């Protein structure tokens, strides 16, 4: 081998990729992991059979310093990725240890431990600034979206149709509590009637086929029942009147086709939401996913059963749904008031003359 160190490292990465593909992980998961290991190798300017725990500590500490430190979840993910890679190359069953001993006189070993990497100690690792939108904020956002579409259309700007598409997509994201990928992968055939809510017609339920996968499994499916009547109007108007005006609509059944491709990209909707968010002066930390958080919060505030909300958004555990919920202070005040009124009502009922006599009699006989 002309460059044995480079070739062995490349073969390690190829083998690790194959191992993870065999586990069922997607390439969208693998590529960032491989890129992260290459980044660490470039930082140390050394090879896996020469890595030391101190290299990990210096790398992660540098990410945590500076004007824009990495988030805690990012640090934990990087440490976990390095640990997985080192587990692979240090496993004698893959023979990288013996190969490196023969070629370089050293062998790879685990360099990530509990005492030099971040642990998953909290259920929620997102930024504290990210939160649900209040109802007035959400109304202000959607009003601005509608105003822009109307303004573009009045000026005969050709961008009015894509603006209308993105407007409808953002409303559907909130109206059904969808993740970004679930939203963009919707097809026309994913809507159907709900026999228990015939007033919603053909849009009483949406079948999500591209839900979040777990542990290398396929995308999880679920059905989301229509809750807000206005979402039916949004989808019906888009599908029945405007979608077919896009040149690619006839070649695809995607609910949100783009001008040149069969389906709109995630980045397109994210960028549109970010611009609208800045226009109405919402905090920059609020992203498209916050519409899903808002859906959960507003259903809980409206009195829907927590189990129903959990099943709507596809959470396996109620604790995950609770993390999404950030009810307003007004809702908490009303909840407390109802509880106090019930306590007072029970107390008054217990001290009523008839109940009082029964209580005394019961106590005397005891």
102 burial via Cβ count (<10 Å: 0-12, 13-18, 19+): exposed
pLDDT at 68 over 50: yes
Per-residue pLDDT reduced to its tens digit, 259-304: 889 999 989 999 999 999 999 999 998 999 999 999 999 998 888 8
Tokens of 156: 């005969």
What mean pLDDT is predicted for residues 314-341?
A: 64
Question: pLDDT band at residue 163, thresholds of 50, 70 and 90?
Answer: very high
The domain defined by 135-324 carries CATH number 1.10.1510.10: no
CA-closest candidate to residue 113, choices 142, 136, 140, 80: 80
What mean pLDDT is predicted for residues 140-146?
A: 96
Question: pLDDT band at residue 365, thresholds of 50, 70 and 90?
Answer: very low
> Which residues, in sequence order, are bridge partners of residue 13?
none
pLDDT at 360 over 50: no
What pLDDT is attached to residue 32? 94
What pLDDT is attached to residue 230? 96
Q: Is 50 helix (H, G, I), strand (E, B) or coil?
A: helix
pLDDT at 216 over 70: no
Lowest model confidence (mean pLDDT) among 55-59, 152-156, 232-236, 346-350: 346-350
pLDDT at 192 over 90: yes
Q: Give the domain ranges of the chain.
A: 4-104, 135-324, 330-365
For the beta carbon of residue 252, count every other beta carbon within 10 angstroms.
16
299 burial via Cβ count (<10 Å: 0-12, 13-18, 19+): buried
What pLDDT is attached to residue 353? 52
Lowest model confidence (mean pLDDT) among 23-27, 231-235, 344-348: 344-348
Given a contact cutoff of 8 angstroms between Cβ atoms, the answer to whether 48 and 86 are in contact is: yes
Instruction: Kindly report the average pLDDT of the chain as a whole number.
Output: 87
What pLDDT is attached to residue 204? 95
Q: Which fold has domain 4-104?
A: DNA polymerase; domain 1 (1.10.150)
Tokens of 110: 């685990």
What mean pLDDT is predicted for residues 98-122?
A: 88
The span from the CA of 26 to the CA of 39, in Å, is 20
Query: SS3 letters for 160-173?
Result: HHHHHHHHHHHHHH
What pLDDT is attached to residue 340? 63
What pLDDT is attached to residue 362? 39
Altogether, the residues listed in the chain come to a count of 366
pLDDT at 80 over 90: yes
What pLDDT is attached to residue 22? 92
What pLDDT is attached to residue 366? 33
CATH fold match for the domains 4-104 and 135-324: no
What pLDDT is attached to residue 302? 87
DSSP H stretches of helix in the chain: 4-22, 27-44, 53-64, 72-89, 96-104, 135-154, 160-176, 180-184, 229-237, 266-279, 290-301, 306-313, 318-324, 329-350, 353-365
What pLDDT is attached to residue 201? 94
What pLDDT is attached to residue 364? 37
Question: pLDDT band at residue 70, thresholds of 50, 70 and 90?
Answer: confident
Given a contact cutoff of 8 angstroms between Cβ atoms, the answer to whether 58 and 117 are in contact is: no
In this structure, what is the dihedral angle of CA atoms 94, 100, 102, 103, given to the nearest 10 degrees? 130
pLDDT at 331 over 90: no
């Amino acid at each position: 081998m002309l460059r044995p160190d480079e070739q062995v490292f490349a073969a390690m990465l190829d083998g690790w990729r194959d191992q993870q593909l065999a586990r069922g992980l997607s390439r969208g998961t693998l590529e960032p992991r491989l890129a992260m290991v290459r980044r660490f190798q470039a930082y140390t300017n050394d090879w896996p059979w020469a890595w030391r725990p101190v290299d990990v500590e210096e790398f992660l500490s540098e990410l945590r310093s500076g004007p824009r430190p990495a988030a805690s979840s990012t640090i934990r993910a990087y440490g976990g990725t390095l640990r997985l890679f080192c587990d692979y190359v240090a496993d004698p069953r893959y023979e990288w240890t013996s190969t490196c001993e023969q070629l370089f006189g050293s062998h790879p070993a685990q360099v990530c431990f509990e005492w030099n990497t971040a642990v998953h100690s909290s259920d929620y690792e997102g930024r504290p600034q990210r939160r649900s939108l209040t109802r007035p904020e959400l109304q202000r956002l959607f009003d601005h979206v509608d105003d822009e579409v109307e303004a573009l259309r009045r000026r005969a700007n050709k961008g009015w149709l894509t603006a209308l598409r993105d407007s409808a997509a953002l409303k559907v994201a909130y109206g059904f509590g969808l993740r970004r990928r679930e939203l963009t992968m919707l097809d026309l055939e994913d809507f159907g009637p709900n026999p228990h809510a015939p007033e919603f017609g053909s849009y009483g339920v949406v079948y999500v086929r591209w839900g979040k996968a777990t542990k290398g499994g396929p995308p999880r499916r679920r059905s989301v029942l229509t809750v807000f009547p206005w979402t039916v109007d949004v989808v019906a108007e888009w599908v029945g009147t405007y979608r077919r005006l896009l040149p690619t609509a006839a070649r695809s059944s995607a609910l949100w086709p783009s001008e040149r491709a069969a389906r709109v990209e995630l980045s397109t909707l994210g960028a549109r939401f970010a611009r609208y968010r800045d226009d109405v002066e919402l905090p920059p930390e609020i992203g498209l996913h916050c519409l899903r958080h808002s859906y959960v919060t507003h259903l809980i505030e409206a009195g829907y059963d927590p189990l129903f909300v959990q099943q709507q958004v596809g959470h396996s555990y109620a604790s995950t749904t609770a993390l999404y919920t950030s009810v307003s202070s007004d809702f908490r005040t009303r909840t407390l008031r109802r509880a106090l009124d019930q306590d007072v009502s029970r107390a008054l009922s217990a001290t009523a003359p008839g109940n009082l006599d029964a209580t005394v009699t019961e106590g005397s006989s005891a």
